[in-house]
Amino acid sequence: MSSIIIPAAKSLTVTNKFPEKNLNKDRILVGCDGKCKYYSYLFFDISSIPCDVLILKAELVLFKTDNFYDDHNEAFFIRLLGDDFSSYTTYRNHPDDICNIKKEFYPITSKVAVTVDITDIILLWVKNKISNKGIVLYGRTKRIVTSFGSSKSEDEYVIPFIRVNCKKEQEHNKKDATIRQVRVTGTIGAQSKYDSVINLQVTRENGNTDNYYVADEYNNLDDSPLYIDKTYNIAIIPKESNGDQEEIVLYGAYKE
């Protein structure tokens, strides 16, 4: 097993305190103090991940710069970005998130670093199911704003990074896999784009859960609703055994 460290290539904070500006400094701010909201964006270049490896686990590591005490009631969230951000990004001109994959974490702790399991996100990125490699961090409570090191920090020890544990992927043939067909039906609104992600969860007999993902974009350019009826083939490797249980979760959101 090998480990790959991917530092954040870009970072940015936007806030309704300065709706026409952004904060591009050595810290990113996240949360809400009851009046001002702070959202922060991170972008990662994952080209260092080889195409022939099996992703075992991936974690986002954020280094705190304040609030070193324990309050496990303060939940913060991560969502995927559908658009890029730049030095012209502001609170009023911000990128959209593209689907309902949401990660929850609790950063108000006495520890220096906060880790968040984002294995499912990395799998989508590596398979190029979602082209944009950016995320947004935000909080929903109105009690606290906290800060983390940014990609621009002069102290390299507080720059956010993703740690990917992986191993060389072995060749498989069809006898090693269970092919599951998943049918998706629904209606897409007129003149709209809809991003969907199918998450096939397989709980093995030993209690471990394997996740398999398929992402797709439905683009309806017509002035009338578009009916979707599509079947996807998902390869489950290793193949299922007696006692394994499946659960299908469908995420989705309109892109524009």
Q: What is the pLDDT of residue 73?
A: 86
pLDDT at 188 over 70: yes
Q: What is the pLDDT of residue 171?
A: 59
- Per DSSP, which regions of 64-191 are E strands? 76-81, 97-105, 113-117, 134-139, 144-149, 161-168, 178-188
Kindly indicate the confidence band of residue 81, based on its pLDDT and cuts at 50, 70 and 90: very high
Q: What is the pLDDT of residue 173?
A: 58
Kindly indicate the confidence band of residue 176, based on its pLDDT and cuts at 50, 70 and 90: confident
Which of 49, 29, 31 shows the shortest CA–CA distance to 122? Answer: 49
Is the pTM higher than 0.85? The answer reads: no
Q: What is the pLDDT of residue 167?
A: 85
Kindly indicate the confidence band of residue 82, based on its pLDDT and cuts at 50, 70 and 90: confident
Q: Are 64 and 112 in contact (CB under 8 A)?
A: yes
